[in-house]
Structure 1
Amino acid sequence: MTQLRPAPPAPRSTTQRREHAQAQLRNRYELWLATGGVAGPHLIPVNYVWDGAQLIMATFEASPTVANLRVNAAARVAVGDHDDVTMIDGTVALVPVGELEPDLAEAFARVSHDPRVMPGLIYLRFRPRRAQVWNGFHEFTNRTVMRDGTWVH
């Protein structure tokens, strides 16, 4: 017997979606990071901290992710689940371990391996440009909650 899916809820407003995205960024610490470049498309799970304006992550300096970012700083992150996702496009700057602000390094060490004591890692500073939020096909319309680095109101 085929089980029918329940009807989707009414789409959330832009304000509700923006607030949801901001809450996800504040309250989670895991995301998927996608890059592209000479190493080809590459997708990795990483931990992060959000300071209200940027995401701080870290990965191995010799990784395909870093090779891609050295050629193309554009990246995309996905926070959440496939049926409740925040997708963010932005640019990534590579930050040597000794150059990240101490408060951000401390915050990152609470959610992941500490690059300050684990050789071979480099920080990634992700600056968002566009964010989209949806929890199903019924929310594809009006899913953009950030444009040009500014939250939509």
Structure 2
Amino acid sequence: MTNDPTVRGPEQRKKDVLARLAEEVDIWVASAGGADAPYLVPLAFHWDGTDVWLCTRLTNPTGRNLQAGGRARLALGNTRDVVLLDGEVTTLSVGDVPTRAVDGFAAKCGWDPRGSGPTYAWFRVRPTAVEAWNEEPEIAGRHLMRDGVWVV
């Protein structure tokens, strides 16, 4: 529990979430699909203002799960400053990803997957739900997006 009694309102929380999506480089990705067990890994990501863009091999558990399951849970922060995003996943080949998304990813993450070979695929995660809270006093108002629509 924090000693700071300040509880952010919904608009400030949304502003903070959008800033973190723009600034942070890595995000926790939880996925499950098909016969694969649930899997949790950190991946580099790019937020384009609407979608989260991920890139990883289709041959690893995360790539297989994202492709087969079509859903993911993404997380930023630590246990006292949490952002959770649930989203629908679309798997795309390099040629199908908007150039702006690939260029943004490469600039932000310092890695351009276009040169990493055909085993890599892109995953667009379109958020359907967003929750954010900074310790227990903010849990009650944590839902910022539901059914793909910002509620604040």
Decide whether aligned partners of structure 1 residues 101 and 6 sit closer, same or farther in structure 2, where only a CA change above 3 A counts.
closer
Tell me how many residue pairs correspond in the alignment: 149
TM-score, normalised by the number of residues in structure 1: 0.90
- 1:11 partner SS: coil
CA distance in 2, matches of 1:90, 1:99: 19
TM-score, normalised by the number of residues in structure 2: 0.91
User: Counterpart of 1:121 in structure 2: which amino acid?
Assistant: Y
Larger Cα-atom Rg: 1
Identify which of 27, 41, 46 aligns with 1:44.
41
CA distance in 2, matches of 1:9, 1:137: 11
**CA displacement at 1:103 relative to structure 2:** 1.5
**Counterpart check, 1:98 vs 2:98:** no
Residue equivalent to 1:13:
9
Q: Spell out the pairing of 1:35-114 with structure 2 (5 A cutoff).
A: 35-37=31-33, 38-110=35-107, 111-114=109-112
> Unaligned 5+ residue runs, structure 1?
none
- 2:100 partner SS: helix
1:36-88, Cα deviation, whole Å (9 max, x unpaired): 12211001111111111001110111011122123311110001222212100
> Unaligned 5+ residue runs, structure 2?
none
After the TM superposition, list the runs of 4 or more consecutive aligned residues in structure 1 that deviate by more than 2 angstroms: 5-8
CA distance in 2, matches of 1:135, 1:8: 10
Name the Cα RMSD after superposition: 1.4
**Counterpart check, 1:136 vs 2:135:** yes
**CA displacement at 1:124 relative to structure 2:** 0.8
